[in-house]
């Protein structure tokens, strides 16, 4: 019996990736390896993680150093952080928003210091401008609470970044990392406590 082959039944070969797509896939594969192994990561490890032949790496990058530099540059891209901040619902309670802002900022700072240590970078973390201002994003999240705030949103943004930076440096924490929710509560209410909690206590 003759089996007719139709277009629907044909198995199409996967289209080869473009050079840019191939570079991006290799970079995504190397970032976690860099954090784990630093510059000692081998091209064999990179190829296995990316699911490619080792020689393919050198068709996309001149050498391993160029690949590492490209991976670090992508890791430092602020776009994913800005997208996370933009996704915070401005209508959430203030303490929850401060908690979420700190959570994303602490993760960002911890990751930056982790990859800098892994690849032997020192000094101030390199900055890279994004399409949106960090201050504008914080302003948007905190806008419903403007009447409650005693300082500008720009000052709050500076303080949040300062706290996130300090909490990401192990030497500053003396082995006792402060939980994000505890930091958020402290930033929101300061050392005087939550006014609502004090009112409830007095009423009791």
> Inter-axis angle of helices 19-37 and 64-75, to 10 degrees?
80
- Confidence band (pLDDT; 50, 70, 90) for 11? very low
What average pLDDT does range 31-52 have in this prediction? 93
Q: Coil, strand, or helix at residue 3?
A: coil
- Confidence band (pLDDT; 50, 70, 90) for 128? low
Q: What is the pTM of this model?
A: 0.76
The DSSP secondary structure of 72-99, one letter per residue, reads HHHHT-SHHHHHHHHTS-TTS-HHHHHH
pLDDT given at position 82: 94
Condensed to tens digits (0 to 9), the pLDDT of residues 47-84 reads: 999 999 999 999 999 999 999 999 999 998 999 999 99
Condensed to tens digits (0 to 9), the pLDDT of residues 129-175 reads: 555 689 999 999 999 999 999 999 999 999 999 999 988 876 676 66
Distance of alpha carbon 200 from the chain centroid: 39
- Domains, the chain, in order of start with CATH, read 16-75 (1.10.10.60), 79-203 (no CATH)
pLDDT given at position 153: 93
Distance of alpha carbon 78 from the chain centroid: 7
- Confidence band (pLDDT; 50, 70, 90) for 17? confident
CB atoms within 10 A of CB 98: 25
pLDDT above 90: residue 114: no
What average pLDDT does range 13-30 have in this prediction? 82
């Amino acid at each position: 019996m003759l089996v007719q082959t139709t277009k629907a039944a044909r198995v199409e070969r996967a289209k080869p990736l473009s050079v840019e797509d191939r570079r991006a896939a290799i970079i995504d594969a190397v970032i976690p390896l860099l954090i784990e192994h630093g510059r000692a990561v081998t091209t064999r490890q990179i190829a296995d993680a990316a699911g490619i032949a080792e020689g393919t790496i050198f068709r996309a990058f001149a050498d391993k150093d160029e690949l590492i530099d490209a991976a670090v540059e992508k890791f430092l891209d602020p776009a994913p952080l800005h997208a996370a901040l933009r996704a915070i619902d401005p209508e959430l309670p203030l303490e929850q928003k401060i908690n979420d802002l700190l959570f994303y900022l602490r993760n960002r700072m911890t990751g930056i210091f982790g990859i800098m240590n892994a690849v032997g970078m020192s000094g101030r973390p390199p900055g890279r401008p994004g399409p949106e201002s960090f201050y504008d994003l914080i302003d948007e999240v905190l806008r419903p609470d403007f009447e409650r705030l005693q300082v500008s949103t720009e000052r709050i943004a500076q303080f949040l970044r300062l706290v996130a930076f300090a909490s990401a440096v192990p030497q500053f924490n003396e082995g006792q990392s402060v939980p994000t929710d505890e930091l958020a509560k402290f930033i929101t209410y300061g050392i005087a406590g939550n006014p609502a909690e004090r009112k409830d206590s007095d009423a009791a």
